Each structure stands twice: as C-alpha cells, then as structure tokens.
Amino acid sequence: MSPVSVAAEAGAIEARARHRKRARRQEQSRTNLWRLGVLVAFAGAWEGATRGGLINPFWVSNPSLIAADLWKAFTSGSVFLHIGVTLYEAFLGFVTGAVAGILSGFALARWDRLSRVLDPYVTALNSLPRVALAPLFILWFGIGVTSKVILAFSLVVFILLVNTYAGAKNVDQDLVIISRLLGANRRQLTAKVILPSSIPWIFAGLRLGLAYALIGAVVGEVIVAQAGLGFLISHSAGVFNTTGVFSALIILMVIAMLLNELMKATERKLLRWRPQIPGI
C-alpha cells in the first residue's frame, strides 16, 4: 500500500471517529432535553394541581414553596452542616462496607469449602431487615455517628460481597485455562484475569451500595440524631412542615444523582479497554 493510500485510510478513520463522537454528543444533548422536559412537566403539573385546588398544598407542598425554602437554606448556609454530616456517615459506611464486601467476596470465591460452609449464614444475615434493626444499632453504638455508619455498613457489605463473588465465579474459563497454560500462578491469575473481569460486577455493586449507604445514614438520623438530612426530615415532619421534608428529600436525591454520575465516570475510565455496547 502506497504512503498516499495509508494517509487517506488514516484520515478516513479519524473522520469516522470524529463523526461518532459528534453523534454521541448530539444524542446526549437530546437525552438531557428530554430529561429537562420531564422535570418541567412534572413540576408544572404539581404546581398547577396545588394552585388550582385539586390538591391541598398542606399535604404535598408545591415546587415554588420548595424552591423558596431551598434558596433560604442555601443562602443562609444552615443546610451545609446537615449535608456534611450525612455525607460523612454515608462515606464511612460505604467505604468500610465496600472494602469488607469485596475482600469477603474474593475470599469466598477463592476457597470453595469456606463458601459452602458460610453460604447459609451469609444468606441468613443478608435476609435480615437492617433498617428495622436500626434501633438496636443505636442502642448498641449510641446516638452519635457510629450507629449511622454501622447501619450504612450493614447495608453495603452484603451487596458488594454477593456482586464480587458472582463476578469472580463468572470469569471466562477459557481465559483462566489459557493463563494457566502460559504458567500464571494463582496470584497472577487473580490480578491479571479474575480481578479485571470482576470490575463490572464490582462497580454495579458500588453504584447500588452508594445509594444504600445514603439510605442507611438517613434512616439512622430519622430515628435519632442532632444533625443531618434525616434529622431535617424528621424535624420537619414533626412540625407538619411538608415543604421542609420535600426540600431535604430533593437535596438527598440530587446528592445521590451526582455521586452516581461520579461513579459512572470512574467506571468508564477504568473500563476503557472493554468494547462499548450501544444503548447501555
């Protein structure tokens, strides 16, 4: 092939890559517009229903009251302490639960006998309603941060354990056989084959566990706390301030969405080597 043909082929490949990138940006823009449209339509219907007398705003508030309450909370700075407390509790519970779950999942996948012995106990513990056990955690660990962290930990650890175990057990056996034929020892097999193949499973668990860590922290704060978004929800509900309840819930949802997007971006960066499937 002549140098001219090679240059022409390289230019065509680069042009196709630019076209695909431009198409992805356009598709993302259309998706964002649809998302904004759904939000505006929902908020407009909610506002219209309360202003038109179809729904009593005492029970469900309305978007304009919630927006005013959020503006007041953020401009005064009073809400930042509560956000910080909830994030701190959720972060500690998430990190400790994720580390413990991932290590436990790999350990159970590594030792089959240990997995068979502990399987019924893991299943039994995972079936316990940890949210219902929150009062016990508070009784055991006090009303401070520790009980909320333990509650978040208990919700996260089994999610990561199950996902990591499933990911380690569903590795392509052809890759395992080839690696062993090439002389890979067990440590190399784990680091070069099993761990990379398990990353999608682990990240699926991390994204789910992140939401559950927030739930655990907030549930503990709702029961008893002196600060946090759960405390705001409980306090507002106690004085029949539905606007305050919805304001705290919206803050919580926005935090969860932002953290989820951060996790997705991290996953895309770590899994750049995998082929992308359109529509997923």
Helical pair 112-127 and 78-110, crossing angle rounded to 10 deg: 140
The answer to whether residues 38 and 137 belong to one domain is no
Residue 167 belongs to some domain of the structure:
yes
The answer to whether residues 146 and 23 belong to one domain is no
Taken in order 109, 110, 116, 119, the sign of the CA dihedral is negative
Predicted confidence at residue 2, as pLDDT, reads 57
Predicted confidence at residue 279, as pLDDT, reads 45
**Which tokens hold the place of 8?**
């022409």
Spell out the SS3 assignment of the chain.
Answer: CCHHHHHHHHHHHHHHHHHHHHHHHHHHHHHHHHHHHHHHHHHHHHHHHHHCCCCCHHHHCCHHHHHHHHHHHHHHCHHHHHHHHHHHHHHHHHHHHHHHHHHHHHHHHHCHHHHHHHHHHHHHHHHCCCCCCHHHHHHHHCCCHHHHHHHHHHHHHHHHHHHHHHHHHCCCHHHHHHHHHCCCCHHHHHHHHHHHHHHHHHHHHHHHHHHHHHHHHHHHHHHCCCCCHHHHHHHHHHCCCHHHHHHHHHHHHHHHHHHHHHHHHHHHHHCCCCCCCCCC
- What confidence tens digit (pLDDT) does each residue in 20-77 have? 777 777 787 888 888 888 988 998 888 888 888 888 888 888 888 899 999 998 999 8
The answer to whether residues 244 and 142 belong to one domain is yes
Query: Is pLDDT above 90 for 198?
Result: no
Query: Is pLDDT above 70 for 79?
Result: yes
The answer to whether residues 35 and 115 belong to one domain is no
Predicted confidence at residue 111, as pLDDT, reads 84
Predicted confidence at residue 169, as pLDDT, reads 80
Residue 155 belongs to some domain of the structure:
yes
* Mean pLDDT, range 168-187, rounded to an integer: 71
The answer to whether residues 85 and 29 belong to one domain is no
* Mean pLDDT, range 124-134, rounded to an integer: 83
The answer to whether residues 98 and 196 belong to one domain is yes
Domain final position from 55, 71, 94: 55
The answer to whether residues 127 and 180 belong to one domain is yes
- pLDDT band, very low/low/confident/very high, at 152 (cuts 50, 70, 90): very high
Share of the chain above pLDDT 70, in %: 84
Domain final position from 55, 73, 98: 55
Residue 108 belongs to some domain of the structure:
yes
Predicted confidence at residue 93, as pLDDT, reads 94
Residue 214 belongs to some domain of the structure:
yes
Taken in order 268, 274, 276, 280, the sign of the CA dihedral is negative
Q: In terms of Cα–Cα distance, which of 143, 129, 153 is closest to 220?
A: 143
The answer to whether residues 228 and 207 belong to one domain is yes
| Structural domain containing residue 43 | 1-55
Query: Is pLDDT above 60 for 216?
Result: yes
* Mean pLDDT, range 145-171, rounded to an integer: 89
**Which tokens hold the place of 235?**
């306090």
Residue 277 belongs to some domain of the structure:
no
The answer to whether residues 190 and 230 belong to one domain is yes
Domain final position from 38, 55, 72: 55
What domain count does the chain have? 2
Residue 276 belongs to some domain of the structure:
no
Residue 278 belongs to some domain of the structure:
no
Residue 275 belongs to some domain of the structure:
no
The answer to whether residues 71 and 203 belong to one domain is yes
The answer to whether residues 98 and 12 belong to one domain is no
Query: Is pLDDT above 70 for 11?
Result: no
Predicted confidence at residue 251, as pLDDT, reads 93
Query: Is pLDDT above 70 for 81?
Result: yes
Please give the Cα distance from 246 to 67 (Å, whole number).
10
Domain containing residue 108: CATH number: 1.10.3720.10
Polymer length of the chain:
280
* Mean pLDDT, range 115-122, rounded to an integer: 86
Contact 147, 141 (CB under 8 A): yes
- pLDDT band, very low/low/confident/very high, at 280 (cuts 50, 70, 90): very low
Query: Is pLDDT above 60 for 133?
Result: yes
Mean pLDDT of the chain: 83
Helical pair 195-223 and 145-169, crossing angle rounded to 10 deg: 160
* Mean pLDDT, range 233-245, rounded to an integer: 90
The answer to whether residues 240 and 254 belong to one domain is yes
